[in-house]
Amino acid sequence: MPSAPSKKATRTEFFVFPEVALLLILGLWSLEAEAFKAPRVEMLYIDANVGSASGGHVALRLDDEVYHFQNEQGTTRLTRDDWSRFRWVYNDIENRNIEAAQLQVSPLDAERLRQHLGLFLIAQQREKDYLKALEQDISLLESLGSGGQAPLMERAFFEPTIAPRAPLISLHQSLIEQAGPDFSLEERSRLLKALRDLRYDETPEGLTLEGHPYPDYPATFAEETMDLLSRQLALKVMEGAERLRQSALIDAGPLTTSTARLWLLGYLEKLQASIIRDLQTPYPGGGSSLLLALARHQSVTLSLARNRLFFLHLYEGEPRHVEAIDEEQQNLEALFLDQLTREVKASREEIFAHKQPNEWDYHQMEVGAAEINEMRSAQKAQRAADFKRAPGPPRGEGSQHLSELVMTNTAIKAALIKAKAQRNRYAEGFDARYGYQLITHNCVTELNRAIQGSFKNSDERLALGGHIDPLLSQSFVPYRYFELVRQRYRPLAITRWLSYRNRQLDAISHHGEDSAIALQESTTLTGTLYSPRPSDGHFLFFTEQPAWTRPLLGTANLVYAVATIAEGLVSLPTDEGRGLESAMSGMLFSLPEIGGWTIRKGSYTEAGLRARSAPGHP
């Protein structure tokens, strides 16, 4: 029988309660303070480099998000990036210095900025998607008139079976149990009737951004057609008439652990439930995601059957930047491949340790497999790896016959006239709102307008401390705009993020005190921190030295670029003109340097940069 507690013990227990209560109160205080802490709002200036970066760039940082406008094929498009990724691309890969002006903005005003920019981002993407859908209407009608094929997302994941195969047993059986034995037949008839009844119907004119945070556009003719065709294909896959194309898969190595198998089995069950649900209760535009789920279902099933990991291809077609690389860069990319392989392996082990499989984790494994596959393809072709393509879900773009759409030639011609007229009307409005113009609509003016648009019901001066007109005082120039931010918004502090090469140079020259090292690294011929790249153009000197030296260095760069023209002409038959293009680029970007601007800084490949940063690399 336990003894009664002593008085001392009782008193101790009595005094524990207020101590715990005090800790709880302090904890709640800290949580509340965290919720209302001052947000990090910074205006960023990214200095110039070659190519499209020659004019500099500006962006707005809100805590860990960065908003900025980019010239995307003639459209000033708002982009939202993670700060760490933004800095990696601009500060490291593109090797550009970043200056940050920290603004004094209240939490309420910071939230106004975040909400307005977020809604702008969503609305602009929706309007761009709608413009693309109107263009797809034209392409589809033209294909229909010529008896051709239409593009169909995820079509390339599958191919018809040469001989009849058994349907996806467990998946098909579950569908029969839940929807009945006649579901497939009835659904096939419904889809066929819907396709034959489908006619082009001119949709209303596009809604504007003002007053419509998310424009609600009706489905277009092409969107409805593609959705119906996707669902038809999904039924064929379910019944075994189509199979997963082997060339659509990446072999990512052996599947050896029971933990990994259990995780994949759990994910397979989730995929199966999602597929059955989507087949029974289809939603507009869901045909594409249904095909992707079926493709993943088959790749996971194959992984479990063969004890090897298989993932769908993420990067399709030719890379956007096919750039030949020299032996040193090849060695760097080989180092990065080893590093990346270790990182992906560790990431998979961590994911497989999670008890609850989810879509995001599986996609992260797809990304890792795709990056390793891209690195190996780049090594084989002796080119730079291309990781700038969007790592979204696998797309599997293919094409599909249109034999089941029934429209007379007269109806197709009339529909084409209406479709082109509607596309043109909408495109004119889209271009007027988002079209890029060097002075009146560029990355600076649009960011400035978007910031001002966040404070419609309050004064921008009260929120930010000042006002900057988008077109006055040369504010459309990135560097000048940042000067005006410093003058009129009264920033709390200015932070400078040195470019990758400048950080390395500071380290080895002890912040410039070792003049011999600084002199050695000032040229591309003797420097060790940078390997010349064709896309940077031919140049001799970096031009980040004092302004009075730049005309001299720019002149030297011009002479050097002119001297390499002969070399470019000699190599023209073997390098497809890359050497000559680099020489011409070198000449072009020498001209502003002669005028006193700093342009030439060099850049790095993503793989090569990560390899340089890897432990053990000199």
| CA separation for the pair 253, 247 (Å, rounded) | 16
Please report which confidence band the pLDDT of residue 457 belongs to, taking 50, 70 and 90 as the band edges.
low
Q: Is the pLDDT of residue 418 over 60?
A: yes
Please answer whether residues 297 and 272 qualify as being in contact, where contact means their C-beta atoms are separated by less than 8 angstroms: yes
pLDDT higher than threshold 50 for residue 21: no
pLDDT over 80 at 139, yes or no? yes
Instruction: Give the residue among 313, 308, 273 at the shortest CA–CA distance from 293.
Output: 273
Non-local (6+) Cβ contacts of 295 within 8 A are 154, 157, 158, 244, 248, 312, 394, 396
* DSSP assignment letter at 52: G
Mean pLDDT of 385-408: 77
pLDDT at 394 > cutoff 90: no
The pLDDT assigned to 391 comes to 61
Q: Give the pLDDT confidence score for residue 317 in this predicted structure.
A: 59
Q: Which two tokens stand for residue 532?
A: 């010349």
Residue with tokens 């707005």: 60
Cα-Cα-Cα-Cα dihedral of 499, 501, 507, 511, to 10°?
A: -70
Q: Which two structure tokens, joined as six digits, stand for 87?
A: 């800095």
| Location of structure tokens 């040195």 | 498
The pLDDT-based confidence of 504 (bands split at 50, 70, 90) is very high
Q: What is the pLDDT of residue 4?
A: 40
Question: Is it the case that residue 144 has pLDDT exceeding 80?
Answer: yes
Predicted pLDDT of residue 23: 42
Over range 176-186, report the average pLDDT.
89
Task: Tell me: pLDDT of 62 over 60.
Answer: yes
- Averaged pLDDT, 375-382: 85
Q: What is the pTM of this model?
A: 0.81
What confidence score (pLDDT) does residue 69 get? 96
Flag whether pLDDT at 243 surpasses 60.
yes
Greater confidence, 321 or 262? 262
Which tokens hold the place of 565?
Answer: 């023209």
Q: Which residues contact 255 (CB under 8 A, 6 or more apart)?
A: 261, 264, 303, 304, 306, 307, 308, 309
Choose between 30 and 39: higher pLDDT: 39
DSSP code at position 57: E
pLDDT of 289 over the 80 cut: yes
Mean pLDDT, residues 72-95: 92
- Kindly report, residue by residue over 197-220, the tens digit of the pLDDT: 988 887 665 444 454 566 778 889
Residue 30 pLDDT greater than 60, yes or no: no
Residue-level pLDDT at 322: 60
Q: CA nearest 195: which of 242, 150, 142?
A: 150
Which amino acid is it at 172?
H
Q: How confident is the model at residue 308 (pLDDT cuts 50, 70, 90)?
A: very high
Assigned token pair, 238: 């379910």
What are the structural domain ranges in the chain?
1-37, 41-107+434-497, 314-391, 513-610
Average model confidence (pLDDT) for the chain?
84
Mean per-residue pLDDT for 232-238? 91
Structure confidence by residue, pLDDT tens digits, 544-603: 888 899 999 999 999 999 999 988 888 887 777 878 888 898 899 889 889 888 888 988
Which pLDDT does position 614 carry in this prediction? 56
Q: What is the pLDDT of residue 362?
A: 96
Mean pLDDT score, 602-617? 68
Q: Does 164 have pLDDT greater than 60?
A: no
Query: What is the mean pLDDT of the segment spanning 123-143?
Result: 91
What is the percent of the chain with per-residue pLDDT over 90, rounded to a whole number?
Answer: 48
Q: Tally Cβ neighbours within 10 Å of residue 182.
A: 10
Instruction: Please compute the mean of the pLDDT values over residues 129-144 and round it to a whole number.
Output: 92
Render pLDDT for 115-128 as a digit per residue (tens, 0 to 9).
999 999 988 988 89
Task: For residue 488, count other CB atoms closer than 10 A to its CB.
Answer: 16
Please tell me the predicted confidence (pLDDT) of residue 351.
95
Q: Which of 20-29, 247-256, 324-333 has the lowest mean pLDDT?
A: 20-29
Q: How confident is the model at residue 10 (pLDDT cuts 50, 70, 90)?
A: very low
| Token pair belonging to 587 | 């000449």
